[in-house]
Amino acid sequence: MIKQVGVLGAGQMGNGIAHVFAQFGYQVVLYDIAAPQLEKAVTTIRQNLERQAKKGAIPEALVGETVGRIRTTQALADLAAVDFAVEAVTENEPLKLEIFRRLDETAKAGAILASNTSSIPITKIAAVTRRPEKVIGMHFMNPVPVMKLVEVIRGHATSDETFAVTAELVAKLDKEMAVSQDYPGFIVNRILMPMINEAVFALYEGIATAEDIDKGMKLGTNQPMGPLTLADFIGLDTCLAIMNVLYDGFKDPKYRPCPLLVKMVNAGYLGRKSGRGFYSY
C-alpha cells in the first residue's frame, strides 16, 4: 500500500509530480539540495492549485490541504520511510546514477524507485542499485498537473509486482498510461525529438523563418504549438541531451543533433528559462 511518496528534485517536473501526488491524497516528501528551489516549488504548487480552484477544476479547500501534505527537505535521509520514490533531477546520466546509488542506500527495503527520465535507460539506472526488480521508469509530461499521459518503462529486471503497483498509481492520479520497452527515447521522445531536430535543421538550412516553420506545423498539422516554440518551452539543453542519447544509443545518423541546436546551447540560449532561444522571452 503506497501512502508516502518521495520526489527528488524540486524543479519544473519535480514540483508538478509532488503537486499531483499530494492533490490525490498522498503524503509527499519533496527533496532538493537547494533551499530556494524548494521554496519556489511550494509557491508554484500553491499558485497552480489556486488557478485550478479558480477554474472550478478542484474545490477551494483542496488548495490548503494539498500544500499541507507536502514536506520539503534538503536531507536525503528524510526519504528513508517512503513507499515509492520518483527521481526528477536534471536529465544528466552520471547525476541520475549517483542519485539512485544514494537513494537505494537510504530508502527502506521494499520501496519502489522510479525515474522520470525522458530518455536514459531504466535498465542502466536499475543496475547501480541492489533492487533492480524494484526500479521502473515513470515519465510524466510537462506541465504535470495538466498533461494526462505517463509513460511507464520496464527495465530488464523490473518485476511484474513493481509494474502493477506503478500502473495502479498512474490510475489513482487520474492519468493515462502508455507502456514502453526500455530503448532510447521510449515512445514520446523517440518520435517528438527528431521532429524538433528536423525543424531546427529547416531553420539552419534557411528553408524558412522560425515563425513560418512553427506556423506551418501548427496550422498545417493541428499541433497546439510549433516545434521551435515547443523546444524553447522544453529547454534546448534538454532537447540536445535527448538527441545525444538517441544518437549514442542507436548509432544512427538520422538522430544527429543539428549543429545550430548545439551552437545555441553552447551560447546559453536555452529557451524560455534563459529568456532567449528561437524566440526572445
266 is catalytic: no
- The catalytic position among 115, 151, 180, 197 is 151
Instruction: Give counts: helices (H), strands (E), the chain.
Output: 11, 8
139 is catalytic: yes
* Residue 10 counted as an annotated binding residue: yes
- Residues 6+ positions from 224 with CB-CB distance below 8 Å: 218
Query: Bridge partners of 140?
Result: 150
* Residue 271 counted as an annotated binding residue: no
Query: Bridge partners of 150?
Result: 140, 177
Backbone angles phi, psi at 31, to 5 degrees: -110, 140
* Residue 11 counted as an annotated binding residue: yes
* Residue 133 counted as an annotated binding residue: no
- The catalytic position among 15, 19, 139, 197 is 139
* Residue 142 counted as an annotated binding residue: yes
* Residue 40 counted as an annotated binding residue: no
* Residue 32 counted as an annotated binding residue: yes
* Residue 264 counted as an annotated binding residue: no
- The catalytic position among 115, 116, 180, 189 is 189
Give the whole-angstrom CA distance, residue 158 versus residue 152: 11
- Taking CA atoms, 28 is separated from 3, 42, 67, 144, 204, in Å, by 9, 12, 10, 16, 44
- The catalytic position among 118, 119, 180, 197 is 118
To which residue does cell 527502506 refer? Answer: 108
161 is catalytic: no
Which residues sit in the known binding site for NAD(+)? 9-14, 32, 91, 96, 118, 142, 273
- Which residues belong to the active site? 118, 139, 151, 189
Which residues sit in the known binding site? 9-14, 32, 91, 96, 118, 142, 273
